[in-house]
A and B are shown apart, each in its own frame.
Chain A
């Protein structure tokens, strides 16, 4: 193990559901416990905590558990922590920050977590109120006045450009939802485990054209934990360490309308500048799919196909199936496994690289995986490898 590298060691996940009643801090503790058990670490060995986006008081369900609270609740003696979004883009930016911290010797084992409680918060607004503001400012003022109130509307406009310029079809887009759902049915923790057919997809109601109901993830309650460990500390863990072989992130304008293309494009291209691996070395991709269309953009961005070719690349679904040449979102993605908000993709990459996928384990001896988060105005990509 190289001292200068960072590794993902323990991983954990709470129960995944909708309208859960278990306290969101306890969901987080459940995921931490599982990650510690897997790694054979004790809480006394944890000296760092990193999260995204930090406690969100105006929208508690979106992010109910702050790093400070978790540190206090678990009695962690932290030498390094990251309370807020910090300087690295999107959800898995919390892992990037932790990796930098352990590489600089600021911590040895960092708990990275993402806890979501959006379904529960919506069901119990008295306990988890949404702060309503009379007026919007910042980023939102350029979209909200036009009733472009959801990322679905913003993403849909990029998708429509693919439809009109590159001939993306709904049948192609459907392959993301169908693949996700087929994989989710093999994942005991997936949120949605009923089958989905192409007919059901094609007749689903539209949300924002060309995106229909099945192109959009749904509110979920869950916590996911990834422990990032320093190269000179991995001999303390009992699970197979997974090396963070490369990481990239970008934000250009933090805007859904001023950028020509989404942030996944520069991020995907940058990832390969940090490694000798190439896309042909990758055994599986776990690509952010808050909306199905984002998978298509990530595949293009990462160089698995050319700009505009993403739809044709996944046509028919064989290539991205569990037994295909490039298995996609083997846990079900966010469309099947639930809106774990970015962390599910890195969690699953580790599961697959360790051969622990059970019924959904891909064949062969997978050694290299890509996982991503975001991709709109913010993006992060991780290349993970088992040495």
Chain B
């Protein structure tokens, strides 16, 4: 079982977009840049005219690690933790897991696509390699 985020007005769109199979990031309607983590103001132009918007859901592995340590007894290891730079949203990087492949098949620069894992009311954006 994963530790889940507490949903609130700022982060709900991000964590529940998977219900509609959409990766949703907050975007500034004035300067058009994406903001992450989501906040009610644009960090680039200070506009408050911000709203969630679906992105393509693909990206590139910026860096990664293969985690071997069981941080709690029930944890299944090894698994891949990665930072994924999101296509179409320059500057937005998500920490995530790379799933659906062997842990030694992951490298920086690999192209990946989002896949959602539901747990309770949260849809976690995980990523798998694009063949």
A in complex with B: yes
A154 neighbours in B (Cβ, 8 Å): 95
> Can you list, as one digit per residue, whether each of A150-166 has a CB less than 8 Å from chain B (1) or not (0)?
10111011111100110
How far is it, in angstroms, between the C-alpha of A146 and the C-alpha of B126 when the chains are bound? 8
B94 neighbours in A (Cβ, 8 Å): 142, 257
Q: Is A143 an interface residue, CB under 8 A from the partner?
A: yes
Given A147-B71, A157-B83, A258-B37, 4 more pairs with CB closer than 8 A: A143-B95, A147-B79, A164-B63, A256-B95
| 18 pairs from A and B in contact (CB 8 Å cutoff) | A135-B5, A140-B3, A142-B37, A142-B94, A145-B3, A145-B4, A145-B122, A149-B72, A156-B65, A157-B64, A159-B65, A160-B63, A161-B108, A164-B63, A207-B68, A208-B68, A209-B67, A258-B91
**CB <8 Å contact, A136 and B4:** yes
B7 neighbours in A (Cβ, 8 Å): 135
Q: Is B75 an interface residue, CB under 8 A from the partner?
A: yes
**CB <8 Å contact, B81 and A150:** no
Q: Is B33 an interface residue, CB under 8 A from the partner?
A: no
Q: Return A112 CB to nearest CB of chain B, in Å.
A: 32
Q: Return B59 CB to nearest CB of chain A, in Å.
A: 13
Q: Return A128 CB to nearest CB of chain B, in Å.
A: 18
Interchain residue pairs A-B with the least CB separation, the first 3: A135-B6, A141-B5, A156-B65
**CB <8 Å contact, B63 and A146:** no
Closest chain A residue to B68, Cβ basis: A206
Chain B: residues with Cβ within 8 Å of the partner, total of: 37
Q: Is A269 an interface residue, CB under 8 A from the partner?
A: no
Q: Is B93 an interface residue, CB under 8 A from the partner?
A: yes
B3 neighbours in A (Cβ, 8 Å): 135-136, 140, 144-145, 147, 149
Closest chain A residue to B108, Cβ basis: A164
**CB <8 Å contact, B68 and A149:** no
From known contacts A146-B96, A161-B108, A258-B93, infer whether A153 and B124 are also in contact, taking CB-CB under 8 Å.
Answer: no
**CB <8 Å contact, B83 and A153:** no
A149 neighbours in B (Cβ, 8 Å): 3, 71-72
Q: Is B36 an interface residue, CB under 8 A from the partner?
A: yes
From known contacts A142-B37, A157-B81, A257-B83, infer whether A137 and B5 are also in contact, taking CB-CB under 8 Å.
Answer: yes
Q: Is A148 an interface residue, CB under 8 A from the partner?
A: yes
Q: Is B58 an interface residue, CB under 8 A from the partner?
A: no
From known contacts A143-B95, A161-B108, A258-B93, infer whether A153 and B6 are also in contact, taking CB-CB under 8 Å.
Answer: no
Chain A: residues with Cβ within 8 Å of the partner, total of: 37
Interface positions of A (Cβ within 8 A of B): 134-137, 140-150, 152-154, 156-161, 164-165, 205-211, 255-258
* A152, A165, A257: the one within 8 Å of B93 (CB): A257
Q: Is B48 an interface residue, CB under 8 A from the partner?
A: no
> Can you list, as one digit per residue, whether each of B75-107 has a CB less than 8 Å from chain A (1) or not (0)?
100010111000000011111110000000001
B66 neighbours in A (Cβ, 8 Å): 206, 208-209
* B69, B83, B96, B124: the one within 8 Å of A152 (CB): B69
Q: Return B60 CB to nearest CB of chain A, in Å.
A: 13
A150 neighbours in B (Cβ, 8 Å): 69, 71
Q: Return B100 CB to nearest CB of chain A, in Å.
A: 15
How far is it, in angstroms, between the C-alpha of A152 and the C-alpha of B69 when the chains are bound? 10
From known contacts A147-B67, A150-B71, A207-B68, infer whether A258 and B36 are also in contact, taking CB-CB under 8 Å.
Answer: yes
* A136, A147, A156, A205: the one within 8 Å of B5 (CB): A136
Closest chain A residue to B37, Cβ basis: A142
B82 neighbours in A (Cβ, 8 Å): 157
How far is it, in angstroms, between the C-alpha of A144 and the C-alpha of B96 when the chains are bound? 10
B65 neighbours in A (Cβ, 8 Å): 153, 156-157, 159-160, 208-211
A164 neighbours in B (Cβ, 8 Å): 63, 107-108
* B68, B95, B124: the one within 8 Å of A257 (CB): B95
B5 neighbours in A (Cβ, 8 Å): 135-137, 141, 144-145
